[in-house]
Structure 1
Amino acid sequence: MKTALSPGRESLLWKLVCVTLWAGEELVAGLLIERYSALQVVWVRFAAQLVLMGLLWGRREPMQLVRTARPWLQVSRAAMMVAMPICWLLAMQRNMAPDTLMAVFWSSPILLLLCAHVLGGERAPATLWIAAAAACAGANLFFHHERLPTATMVALALGMTLSFVLFVVATRALRHERLRANLFYTAAGVVVLMLPLLPGRWVWPDAMGLAGMVSVGVLGFGALYALERMAAAAPVSLTAPATGLQLLPSIGAAWLAGQHAWSWSSTLGAVVVVAVAMALWWLDPAVRQRPALAPAPGGAAD
């Protein structure tokens, strides 16, 4: 996509699209898991993505969906998308307070910078580390800690967080693969890896339930498409501190539904999260000049 924006700002815009669609996906999925297993909802979501991709691209160029030079990384990345809901489900089964789980999860900006450095060779400047720390602090203002979690709960929450972070870093590593192949292997990997977990949890959905799961699939497909574009446009360190933007539509929808009590701390958290994103936009010309964060040529192709 040709654009007059800098790679960092283009990546930040794709990040905004991604977190908005991801928040919508989680909102609908949250309604569905009141009636269906979370694993079933996730499985149907990715099965719907496979069907959608088949309709969009499978008839004309089916081999473009499966051709990849890095099959093991593709499968490993898909496994991260399986680990995320499993860690969440196990934490919930142990009665971990949702706010505490989310507070741990929103340490992801810091972990993303760390993993991008260790695994991706990105060397973020101090400004990005400060922005990520501020984003984590702002995100935690949305949540109220009711009780101390056990070590197992914390480990599961960190497992969920690390799965997400590794998925994003792997997406950056796969930026030279075709975008549609990346999306295909993510969906196909989840469908295959999660299938053995479904017996005993499957409940045949009615028309409304199936429509909801398919809508989760469409929103999720859009979110992952935007994530691919974000990771292809620039190093993930540039946008890591803006990950907390997802909280704004998510918490806003929960507040409108009466599931979140808005407070002054929530307002302050929203201000901090937005301020961090605006600072990233403003600082981009200076930050992206660093060689370690210069975007590589190429990127995910259509």
Structure 2
Amino acid sequence: MADAARRFAGNLDAVGAEARRARLKGVGLMLAALACFCCLDTTAKILNERMDTVQVVWARYLFHFLLTLPFINPWNTPGLMRTARPGLQVGRALMLLACTACNFVALIFLQLDETISITFTTPFLVAILAGPILGEWVGPRRMAAILVGFLGVLIVTRPGLGGLHWAAGIAFLGCVAYALYLVSTRVLARHDPTTTTLFYSGLVGVVVMTPAAPFFWTWPSAVDWGLMAMLGALGGLGHFLLIAAYRLAPAAVLAPFIYCQLIGMIALGYVVFGDVPTGWTLAGASVVIASGLYLLMRERGAKPVAETIARPD
């Protein structure tokens, strides 16, 4: 009896260790995806100065679709377009499109660090939605860390103190769409392969944006074509990594790590556009980084998903 109990306890420990490794892999994939998104937003801001935003959004989805098509298509992946949740697949892709459009419009008027700081309201929205929709309830310590990170965002943006442009409202609408996109990504990860979800992400964007693109067309230079292709490549790779991350870890665990994107945005904004971060931005970034480091340490010692849901930490 005692031997059986020890074996059972050992099996539980093995399951717990495997769950922790899966979560940490998910965090790693999430961080790689965010690096792609930093470069994507930088490229989009450059293109916004050369052509209409509608054309930029169209290019992001067209090249995403074309560059992934040789590898992910219905011919070499039988059943690729078969989905258990067709409505949710289309809805998720539309949320991603709405998020992209709002973000690209905001980038016309805002610095990279300002835009991404507003995007950081997303983890709080995801934490609220993940419980009732996914059954992934956030414990009090993680919620406190999320709120501390959000406090860092408020330090950066200083709402009500003249720190925000009207385009911040457009960026916030993009955050709402992004939160719904992240939660639906987690739901779809339980039903459809990563390749199916990635395929629909590009397909829906192309179908919706192509009819509108000719009305806002500016003929690109050779360099612009290259930047447009880069935009699609970064989007496709970033979302492939994001979907893979959400197959390994809960939405409420991964979402707070988007705070790390602030570091990349500040660096690229300075190097590419000469945007010098203010003292408020640096102070807020310090709070954000501290919150992210705490969350990472929590994940290294976290219990498996089933335990954290049953008994939140």
Q: Which bracket does the TM-score occupy, shorter chain normalised?
A: 0.7 to 0.9
Correspondences of 1:146-165 after superposition (within 5 Å): 147=162, 156-165=170-179
User: Is 1:238 matched with 2:253?
Assistant: yes
Tell whether the 8 Å contact from 2:156 to 2:280 is kept in structure 1 after alignment.
yes
User: Is 1:118 matched with 2:132?
Assistant: yes
Correspondences of 1:27-38 after superposition (within 5 Å): 27-38=42-53
Q: Residue 226 of structure 2 corresponds to which residue in structure 1?
A: 211
CA distance in 1: counterparts of 2:37 and 2:105, whole angstroms: 21
Tell whether the 8 Å contact from 2:20 to 2:301 is kept in structure 1 after alignment.
no
- Superimposed CA distance per residue, residues 216-272 of structure 1 (whole angstroms, 9 cap, x where no aligned partner): 111111110110011110111012221111111111111223542234333333332
- Return 5+ residue gaps in structure 1 as ranges: 295-302
Pair 1:280–1:189, CA change in 2 (3 A): same
CA distance in 2: counterparts of 1:221 and 1:92, whole angstroms: 20
Q: Residue 300 of structure 1 corresponds to which residue in structure 2?
A: none
Q: Residue 283 of structure 2 corresponds to which residue in structure 1?
A: 268
CA-CA distance at 1:56 after TM superposition? 1.7
CA-CA distance at 1:137 after TM superposition? 1.9
Q: Specify the code of the residue in structure 2 equivalent to 1:191.
A: V
More helix by share: 2
CA-CA distance at 1:38 after TM superposition? 1.8
CA distance in 1: counterparts of 2:83 and 2:149, whole angstroms: 35
Pair 1:288–1:5, CA change in 2 (3 A): closer
Tell whether the 8 Å contact from 1:64 to 1:180 is kept in structure 2 after alignment.
no
Q: Residue 105 of structure 1 corresponds to which residue in structure 2?
A: 119
Q: Residue 127 of structure 1 corresponds to which residue in structure 2?
A: 141
- Superimposed CA distance per residue, residues 37-76 of structure 1 (whole angstroms, 9 cap, x where no aligned partner): 2221221122112212221233852434312121111100
Give TM-score scaled by structure 1 length. 0.84
Correspondences of 1:3-18 after superposition (within 5 Å): 6-18=21-33
Pair 1:248–1:64, CA change in 2 (3 A): farther
CA-CA distance at 1:128 after TM superposition? 1.4
User: Is 1:195 matched with 2:210?
Assistant: yes
CA distance in 2: counterparts of 1:263 and 1:104, whole angstroms: 16
CA distance in 2: counterparts of 1:144 and 1:228, whole angstroms: 33
Tell whether the 8 Å contact from 1:112 to 1:240 is kept in structure 2 after alignment.
yes
Q: Specify the code of the residue in structure 2 equivalent to 1:277.
A: G
In angstroms, what is the RMSD of aligned CA positions? 2.9
CA distance in 1: counterparts of 2:23 and 2:42, whole angstroms: 28
CA distance in 2: counterparts of 1:37 and 1:5, whole angstroms: 45
Q: Larger Rg: 1 or 2?
A: 2
CA distance in 1: counterparts of 2:278 and 2:53, whole angstroms: 29
CA-CA distance at 1:103 after TM superposition? 4.6
Tell me the secondary structure at the aligned position of residue 189 of structure 2. coil
Give TM-score scaled by structure 2 length. 0.82
CA distance in 2: counterparts of 1:16 and 1:206, whole angstroms: 32
CA distance in 1: counterparts of 2:114 and 2:282, whole angstroms: 19
Q: Residue 173 of structure 1 corresponds to which residue in structure 2?
A: 187
